[in-house]
Homo-oligomer: A and B are copies of this chain.
Amino acid sequence: MGNDRKSKRKGTKIKHPGLVQPRLVRGFRDLFETSLEQRNRMIRRIQEVYELYGFTPLETPALEPVDVLGKFLPDTDTPQEGIYALKDPDDDSWIAMRYDLTAPLARVFSMNRQVLGTPYRRYQIGPVYRYEKRLKPGRLREFYQVDFDTVGAGTMAADAEACSILADALEALGISRGDYRIRINNRKLLQGLLESLGLPETGGKTIMVNQKPVEQSLVVMRAMDKLDQLGIDGVVELLGKGRMDQSGDYTEGAGLDPVTINRLVGFLELGRDSDGPRCKMLTSLQEMLGQSPMAAEGIEEIREIDRILTATGFGHDRVVLDPTVVRGMSYYTGPVYEAELTFDIQDKKTGKPRRFGSVGGGGRYDGLVERFLGERIPATGASVGVDRLMAALEYSGAGARETTPGPVVVTVMEPSRLPDYALMASQLRSAGIRAEVYPSKGGIKKQMKYADRRRAPVAVIAGSDEFSRDEVTLKDLKMGRELSSKIQDREEWRKGQPAQVTVAREKLVQRVREMLQAWG
């Protein structure tokens, strides 16, 4: 109860000379009892869904060679930006903490291809590490991901499945249909559109941004990725000359002409109808982009995904098409999907309601293994961000906290009788009952306070009286807590002490079990 909170980072000032200031690295946190149990319960439920779909587990190290991880993080221009890197003390080469679980999968597959074979379907659970330079409040630099991927996924069946899995996983966590949407897009749509506008993804025009040459198409894509954040008007500014934000910071624009900007805005505006039927969106896409061969290929892929989703009963109440979805990772090559929570939460900063937003997603990345083997191997998969989901469930109340009852606490009245108390706890445990001896020194008041903080259901008390009569006193703390919250007249309750009973020592286990059963 009380001991469930996140450690707050304290300043780095040392209070007393010679003492070390206990503190966390910025962006990192501790997880205590209730939150941790809740997160692990969430992970288990997601894991069950992944296993039901046939995936098997994999675990990889926290550290990988930097070049193995590659540079696919969004918004990073230099190789070691965004990650925690260090020199391997063995040979002084650069190694780094993984920033996702996908790059390591490509490495694992490439090293063990013969044994694993294709298709290789694995899920992985674990923390990843991202050094976000300007850390926003509530953001973490270490967070858990729960991933599933199919390497050697030659058909769109794997992509359709990925969307079903995301939907099933969210529902397994108690999120109601209607409170989430899986949004599908295909990188090929925007790519095709940009190509047809003379803005190919590679080999196109280069413009100067902050005195550095950058592909114009990259600047365009980054601008379009800001839609959620800045709205259409902000994106239009970024596509044109540039944009000054409220703080006075200026972001240079992509320098496009108004006609081109108009075409791109038209594309973004398709997103407004994205909650409608998928077939309608497919028609709009066909009309707007069908003439680009690249975009047409993308539309065909989405159509295939749609057919499978429709056949398996995943309607647009769960999975929709949204051409404005952009996933940050640059390794995606085709369909991308995003899991979004659609209910509003109150923004902590502004106090206004806002959509909670993305809690996971993924996509197809046909080139990740190619970096290692020189051969294109199609792969697709997605990831659920458990820490963000946990925050979301706390907001929505869907993840009502289940608290585990604490252990039976055997109090220590006579320190010389420690072996006797230890035997009581041991006998309770042998009967499968969580139990502990109060492990320190202190009076009865301190010990009962401890038992209460632990949410102990029962406290066992044996002083010289009890020992002389071969008895033990059992205090039903759960009943005590219930009663004290109901009964107004505390004095009356104290006199009656309905929650306390003294029994023969040999009845200890039996009576404790009865007390626990009485309360379910």
Q: With the chains together, A418 CA to B90 CA distance in Å?
A: 50
On whether the beta carbons of A54 and B436 are closer than 8 Å, the reply is yes
Q: Check A406 for interface membership: any CB of B closer than 8 A.
A: yes
The A12-27 residues at the B interface (CB cut-off 8 A) are 12, 16, 18-26
On whether the beta carbons of B115 and A5 are closer than 8 Å, the reply is yes
On whether the beta carbons of B54 and A441 are closer than 8 Å, the reply is no
Q: Check A256 for interface membership: any CB of B closer than 8 A.
A: no
On whether the beta carbons of B439 and A121 are closer than 8 Å, the reply is yes
Q: With the chains together, A439 CA to B95 CA distance in Å?
A: 34
Name A121's contact: one of B28, B65, B436 (CB within 8 Å): B436
On whether the beta carbons of B440 and A155 are closer than 8 Å, the reply is yes
Closest to A108 in B: B30
- Contact pattern, A 126-139, Cβ under 8 Å of B = 1, otherwise 0: 01010101000000
- Interface window among A200-208, A263-271, A422-430, A498-506: A422-430
Q: Which 7 A-B pairs have the closest CB atoms?
A: A54-B436, A54-B407, A311-B419, A154-B440, A28-B61, A86-B86, A22-B110
Q: Check A152 for interface membership: any CB of B closer than 8 A.
A: yes
Name A30's contact: one of B59, B63, B407, B453 (CB within 8 Å): B59
Q: A155-B415, A312-B426 are in contact. List 13 more A-B contacts (CB 8 A).
A: A25-B88, A31-B58, A33-B58, A52-B432, A53-B436, A63-B84, A63-B97, A119-B450, A155-B412, A155-B441, A157-B422, A157-B439, A161-B439
Closest to A126 in B: B127
A-B contact list, 5 entries, CB within 8 Å:
A2-B117, A25-B64, A32-B58, A56-B454, A119-B439
Q: How far is the CB of A128 from chain B (nearest CB, A)?
A: 10
Tell me which residues across on chain B come within 8 A of A93, comparing CB atoms: 12
Q: How far is the CB of A329 from chain B (nearest CB, A)?
A: 17
On whether the beta carbons of A420 and B10 are closer than 8 Å, the reply is no
On whether the beta carbons of B308 and A62 are closer than 8 Å, the reply is no
Closest to A37 in B: B57
Q: Check A483 for interface membership: any CB of B closer than 8 A.
A: no
Q: Check A397 for interface membership: any CB of B closer than 8 A.
A: no
Closest to A29 in B: B61
On whether the beta carbons of B422 and A312 are closer than 8 Å, the reply is yes
Q: With the chains together, A442 CA to B152 CA distance in Å?
A: 11
Q: Check A142 for interface membership: any CB of B closer than 8 A.
A: yes
Q: Check A496 for interface membership: any CB of B closer than 8 A.
A: no
**Assembly of this chain: how many copies?**
2
- Interface window among A332-340, A368-376, A465-473, A511-519: A368-376
On whether the beta carbons of B422 and A117 are closer than 8 Å, the reply is no
Q: With the chains together, A185 CA to B24 CA distance in Å?
A: 34
Interface size in chain A (residues, C-beta < 8 A)? 122
On whether the beta carbons of A62 and B127 are closer than 8 Å, the reply is yes
Tell me which residues across on chain B come within 8 A of A56, comparing CB atoms: 3, 33, 404, 406, 454
Name A157's contact: one of B33, B127, B418 (CB within 8 Å): B418
Tell me which residues across on chain B come within 8 A of A120, comparing CB atoms: 3
Closest to A63 in B: B25
Closest to A371 in B: B20
On whether the beta carbons of B90 and A26 are closer than 8 Å, the reply is yes
Q: Check A156 for interface membership: any CB of B closer than 8 A.
A: yes
Closest to A21 in B: B372
Closest to A447 in B: B119
Closest to A433 in B: B52
Name A441's contact: one of B89, B127, B154, B449 (CB within 8 Å): B154
Q: How far is the CB of A421 from chain B (nearest CB, A)?
A: 7
On whether the beta carbons of B36 and A419 are closer than 8 Å, the reply is no
With contacts A70-B20, A97-B62 known, is A112 near B7, CB below 8 A? yes
Q: Check A313 for interface membership: any CB of B closer than 8 A.
A: yes
Name A3's contact: one of B115, B434, B441 (CB within 8 Å): B115
Closest to A153 in B: B439
Q: With the chains together, A312 CA to B426 CA distance in Å?
A: 7
Tell me which residues across on chain B come within 8 A of A7, comparing CB atoms: 108, 111-112
On whether the beta carbons of A422 and B59 are closer than 8 Å, the reply is no
Name A438's contact: one of B16, B110, B119, B421 (CB within 8 Å): B119
On whether the beta carbons of A57 and B36 are closer than 8 Å, the reply is yes
Q: With the chains together, A65 CA to B438 CA distance in Å?
A: 33
Q: With the chains together, A508 CA to B309 CA distance in Å?
A: 20
Tell me which residues across on chain B come within 8 A of A106, comparing CB atoms: 22
Tell me which residues across on chain B come within 8 A of A429, comparing CB atoms: 52-53
With contacts A155-B441, A157-B421, A312-B423 known, is A112 near B5, CB below 8 A? yes
Tell me which residues across on chain B come within 8 A of A115, comparing CB atoms: 2-3, 5
